[in-house]
Copies of this chain bind each other. A is one copy, B any other.
């Protein structure tokens, strides 16, 4: 049974490290999809896709809901927040010599625009 997974930076970053999984996430940005439809554009087996979806689920990046015999995959972008925050701790790295907390405040007051 799906015990309550507690996504960590480890699981999130390693889930994101695979290009197939990132592509799946991008697809789910458009809309929820069934497992078979997720698999369709890829050249690998359905079982392999199923495993990727398990990994994304354990990372909290998607949820899956079974309706009838179809399992729908839904993006959960909130799971990226902790990782994003972690990275932003490094992002504002100007010449100023800020410690981690000051840097965080700077990010919070003036969030970087993803250009």
Min CB distance A102 to B, Å, is: 10
Option from B17, B75, B115 in Cβ contact (under 8 Å) with A13: B17
* A67-115 residues at the B interface, CB under 8 angstroms: 75, 77-78, 80-91, 93-96, 99-101, 103-105, 107-109, 111-112, 114-115
Size bracket, chain A contacts: 35 or more
Task: Give the residue of B17, B78, B91, B94 whose beta carbon is less than 8 angstroms from that of A14.
Answer: B17
Contact check, A82 vs B109: say whether CB atoms are below 8 A apart: no
Contacts of A112 in B (CB 8 A): 84
Chain B, residue nearest A81 (CB): B93
Q: Which residues of B lie under 8 Å from residue A80 when comparing CB positions?
A: 87, 90-91, 93
Answer yes or no: A2 CB below 8 A from chain B CBs: no
Query: Which chain B positions have C-beta within 8 A of A19?
Result: 9-10
12 additional A-B residue pairs with CB within 8 Å, beyond A13-B17, A87-B87: A10-B18, A26-B100, A77-B91, A80-B87, A80-B90, A80-B93, A82-B104, A84-B91, A85-B100, A88-B96, A96-B111, A100-B105
